[in-house]
Structure 1
Amino acid sequence: MSYPHFLVMPYPILGHMNPLLQFSQVLANHGCKITFLITEFNQKRMKSEIDHLGAQIKFVTLPDGLDPEDDRSDQPKVILSLRNTMPTKLHRLIQDINNNNNALDGDNNKITCLVVSKNIGWALEVAHKLGIKGALLWPASATSLASFESIPRLIDEGIIDSETGLPTRKQEIQLLPNSPMMDTANLPWCSLGKNFFLHMVEDTQSLKLGEWWLCNTTCDLEPGALAMWPRFLSIGPLMQSDTNKSSFWREDTTCLHWLDQHPPQSVVYVSFGSLAIVEPNQFNELAIGLDLLNKPFLWVVRPSNENNKVNNTYPNEFHGSKGKIIGWAPQKKILNHPAIACFITHCGWNSIIEGVCGGIPFLCWPFFSDQFINKSYICDVWKVGLGLDQDENGLIMKGEIRKKVEQLLGNEDIKARSVKLKELTVNNFDEGGQSSQNIEKFINWAKD
């Protein structure tokens, strides 16, 4: 039997690379051949992961067009550089791979399908010109993907401005059937500026060259979004298949032994993902708020640069005697540890999927983009968490943190719903589950 050869190409940030790497492992376990494209810059940061997966997945690299000293947290700069410098290099790479068949491999060595994440829709144009099939693996929720697909309708209905994407007036809308009401100010592009909005309009059009739009979600989590367009295909939760995660920072596994010393459902876990930045005043409130809990806490304070120096200064009043602070976490293992009581999160989709699969209640602290939509699902639809409210200065105060943690941990209904949602979600990846069937469907499509 001939299996397809996938070239998998994530946008080069951790929140995109992880789900595409996890999906690559799933495809490889089904017998597919995988070539995984990363930037030369990230190759140096992912050496241990590449060494670990080298037998299952072949890694190839291309330059991102930026200088070594450039700030790669400047997403508009990265997006523009990739678009300007990489298409011709990608075209040549695919041709080189497809021309290097040997007699033993035959056509099986040729790339049959390109899988990309968002922000690089142009890559599907390259594949299309070469006669190669394409698909999108969206790294966020299906609902956020549906919101970008809905931009023309939102413009036609006068809900958003065609040039900026900003709402024309203050109102709440229901973006999709069976989805929560949302403030138009919280549409995913509103906090990211006009240029990002215009980029996403263009990118979404290019992504339509992908016959399938794969989503790391399930029909139980987002039925309204998945029912909207035939090309949406749920394949989650991908993290069920994952043993090791790619990471740009060294994971501190000492926290797992530390968790072993604590009773079940006693530790508050705090992590805001790989991009969100907590400003100094807010950092102080969070630190003191965690102290006020008088409970054990595990807090991820991410290294702020390549030299692993943290630029946050802890307030003098902070003791942290009941807590453990680490630079980066083996998050999936943490969220499946019996000692964890709740998860204070930025509501990034990968973190939400991991929390749901751990059966953990959430305390929601969204920063930007789709994180506000995700909060609505957690609090208003699935009802497995609570939101944190800002004061008149836009700060989440220490007293609010303590109050909401106590409310959450005292709510037995939320705990019960969290466990039930875990069962519903994980079952999709079991043999015969909806996501497993959809992955088989996708592989069979790529074979033809």
Structure 2
Amino acid sequence: MERQPHVLVVSFPAQGHISPLMKLSIQIAAHGLKVTFVTTEVEHAKFMESLPENFEEQSSITLVSIPDGVDEDARYDVVRTLEAIETIRRVVPTYLADWIAETNRSDVDEKISCVIADISVGGALEVAKKMGLEAVAVWPAGAPCLALATHVPRLLQDEIINSDGTIMKDEPIMLAEDAPACACWSSSDIGWKSSHPILSKALLGFYSVVPRYAEFYDLILCNSVYELDSSLFKLVPKALPIGPLLFTNHLGSFPGKTWPQDSTCLAWLDKQPPGSVIYLAFRSSTLASAKQVEELALGLEHSGKPFLWVVRPDFMEGSTARFPDRFHDRVSERAKIVEWAPQETVLAHPSVSCFVSHCGWNSTMEGLAMGVPFLCWPYIADQFSNKKYICDVLKTGLELSRDENGITSRHEISSKINKLISSDVIKAKALHVKDIVRKSSIEGGSSFNNFNNFIEHIKSL
């Protein structure tokens, strides 16, 4: 019997990274390869709670956890963010090397031949290469940010940015003379933007690892579509676009979400008119002030539209989310509020008219794939670049503005909702992008072919 290829997939321990890496793992396993998925003990414990019953048996994916070495006092301390991230990047590859060596020594039939690693833990690629294994990187964000990341050394050398990521010249960053709009950044949409200097430096580190570990990988998989970003991929020759990475299996719920999903919202959506519902969902760690939650709630109320709002228990800073007095009573006939939702299924529902999002890349690709217009509310990191990509490049959404105190008002929210859902131009653009994305992922499409060629390469190792 021919030995089944064994692939080790390594994720950085954060939901925005685990989610696409797990989707990738499921697709690889569906092609007959043995997959072992590795993340750290803390994140492993979180997402194990939300996995479908018998997930490992159904998916042919083995789940493994290793220590991350982070001091508990540093884990949730913004001031020590950089320290925690560097600890993870140092410790995880060490444990990984020992685990691979033991596995390959103990069972020749289970021998690992390829390591596919989130570039954010690029040390895993170095380990793989030095052990004589195939090393493949994964970039969990978008193609524009990958192009920017690839060029960080040049930006530093030309003193366009400093070591903290600050833009040193009063002009946009352009990666080439004829660079497209999606490869041009200002200080307001740069991917490591943050009001906290330590956090900015930590975020810059997520970009810097791409060139830092480039010698250890020949390929970097990207959750993007070639036809949407063809000019960008000329700037990143090692990139292989295989997007969209979507939840296409039938395991019951998506593995990797750290909050249990509430599927009752689907029955509620079934009762709503087509193209009528505002869907709101923000990243898993976004925090909102009490004032902002109030403005958002009243903006939704004033819009007069039905809405499905995903509100985590820890969505509000310092406490469980509270709403304006009698808010639930006033909107009860046209609102559904849940702690988590099966997002891809929701976005594909005919009742959904638009997606209010912080524009994390996973959500961005899911929304584009489903043809849903965006109302963009970026919070941190690559979300600002993704907002620009949606609003200025693809033109499939609008941006929510903030006042001088950083608050998005109820008037801004309600007026932008109504402007977005009444725009036939934006709807048409969104459907056009959906068609491009769909064609790329079906037989004969660019992403379909890229992924299948990749699988055949792994099988040949």
TM-score normalized by the length of structure 2: 0.89
Give the number of equivalent residue pairs.
439
For residue 329 of structure 1, report the CA deviation from its aligned partner: 1.1
Distance 1:340 1:277 in 2: 25
Letter in 1 for 2:365: I
* Stretch of structure 1 that moved more, 166-175 or 116-125: 166-175
Question: Which residue of 1 is the match for residue 451 of structure 2?
Answer: 439
Give the match's secondary structure for 1:6: strand
Q: Is residue 2:272 matched to residue 1:262?
A: yes
Question: Which residue of 1 is the match for residue 55 of structure 2?
Answer: 53
* Stretch of structure 1 that moved more, 251-260 or 205-214: 205-214
For each residue in 1:148-188, what CA deviation from the matched residue of structure 2 results, as whole angstroms up to 9, or x when unmatched? Answer: 11112222333212x21101133334446223343134211
Report if the CA contact (8 A) 1:179-1:224 is conserved.
no
1:312 to 321, 328, 350: 321
Report if the CA contact (8 A) 1:166-1:185 is conserved.
no
Distance 2:294 2:325 in 1: 9
Report if the CA contact (8 A) 1:33-1:57 is conserved.
yes
Question: Which residue of 2 is the match for residue 62 of structure 1?
Answer: 66
Identical residues among aligned pairs (%): 37
Question: Which residue of 1 is the match for residue 97 of structure 2?
Answer: 91
1:71-86 maps to which residues of 2 (within 5 A)? 71=75, 75-86=81-92
* Stretch of structure 1 that moved more, 239-248 or 5-14: 239-248
For each residue in 1:387-406, what CA deviation from the matched residue of structure 2 results, as whole angstroms up to 9, or x when unmatched? Answer: 11122222211101111111
Letter in 1 for 2:239: F
Change (3 A) 1:406 1:175: farther
CA RMSD of aligned residues (A): 2.2
Report if the CA contact (8 A) 2:74-2:84 is conserved.
no
Distance 1:63 1:189 in 2: 27
Distance 2:85 2:371 in 1: 35
Change (3 A) 1:357 1:39: same
Change (3 A) 1:155 1:65: closer
Change (3 A) 1:346 1:199: closer
1:172-251 maps to which residues of 2 (within 5 A)? 172-175=172-175, 177-180=179-182, 181-191=184-194, 192-198=199-205, 200-202=207-209, 204-239=211-246, 241-243=248-250, 244-246=253-255, 247-251=257-261
Change (3 A) 1:425 1:15: same
Give the match's secondary structure for 2:35: strand
Report if the CA contact (8 A) 1:215-1:235 is conserved.
yes
> Which runs of no fewer than 5 residues in structure 2 stay unpaired?
none
Report if the CA contact (8 A) 1:139-1:215 is conserved.
yes
Distance 1:70 1:216 in 2: 31
Distance 2:47 2:164 in 1: 37
> Which runs of no fewer than 5 residues in structure 1 stay unpaired?
none
Give the match's secondary structure for 2:220: strand
Distance 1:3 1:228 in 2: 35
Question: Which residue of 1 is the match for residue 149 of structure 2?
Answer: 148
Distance 2:403 2:326 in 1: 21
Q: Is residue 2:344 matched to residue 1:332?
A: yes
Give the match's secondary structure for 1:11: coil
Distance 2:83 2:313 in 1: 21
Distance 2:77 2:277 in 1: 31
For residue 141 of structure 1, report the CA deviation from its aligned partner: 0.1
Distance 1:98 1:396 in 2: 54
1:278-317 maps to which residues of 2 (within 5 A)? 278-304=288-314, 311-316=320-325
For each residue in 1:345-388, what CA deviation from the matched residue of structure 2 results, as whole angstroms up to 9, or x when unmatched? Answer: 10111001111111111111111111111111111111111111
TM-score normalized by the length of structure 1: 0.92
For residue 203 of structure 1, report the CA deviation from its aligned partner: 5.8
Report if the CA contact (8 A) 1:178-1:224 is conserved.
yes
For each residue in 1:109-132, what CA deviation from the matched residue of structure 2 results, as whole angstroms up to 9, or x when unmatched? Answer: 211111111321111111122111
* Stretch of structure 1 that moved more, 425-434 or 42-51: 42-51
Letter in 2 for 1:315: P
Report if the CA contact (8 A) 2:120-2:209 is conserved.
no
For each residue in 1:299-337, what CA deviation from the matched residue of structure 2 results, as whole angstroms up to 9, or x when unmatched? Answer: 1111329xxx96222233734433211111110110011
1:348 to 357, 360, 364: 360
Give the match's secondary structure for 1:245: coil
Letter in 1 for 2:403: D
Distance 2:335 2:377 in 1: 20
For each residue in 1:254-302, what CA deviation from the matched residue of structure 2 results, as whole angstroms up to 9, or x when unmatched? Answer: 1111111100011100111212222222222111111111111111111
Letter in 2 for 1:303: P
1:17-56 maps to which residues of 2 (within 5 A)? 17-47=18-48, 48-49=50-51, 51-55=53-57, 56=60
Give the match's secondary structure for 2:169: coil
Give the match's secondary structure for 2:39: strand
1:408 to 420, 431, 437: 420
Change (3 A) 1:73 1:179: farther
Give the match's secondary structure for 1:136: strand
Distance 1:278 1:370 in 2: 18
For residue 340 of structure 1, report the CA deviation from its aligned partner: 0.4
Letter in 2 for 1:95: A
Give the match's secondary structure for 1:54: helix
For residue 248 of structure 1, report the CA deviation from its aligned partner: 0.9
Report if the CA contact (8 A) 2:67-2:92 is conserved.
yes
For each residue in 1:72-111, what CA deviation from the matched residue of structure 2 results, as whole angstroms up to 9, or x when unmatched? Answer: 5855354233234333211110011111225xx3xxx211
1:379-418 maps to which residues of 2 (within 5 A)? 379-418=391-430
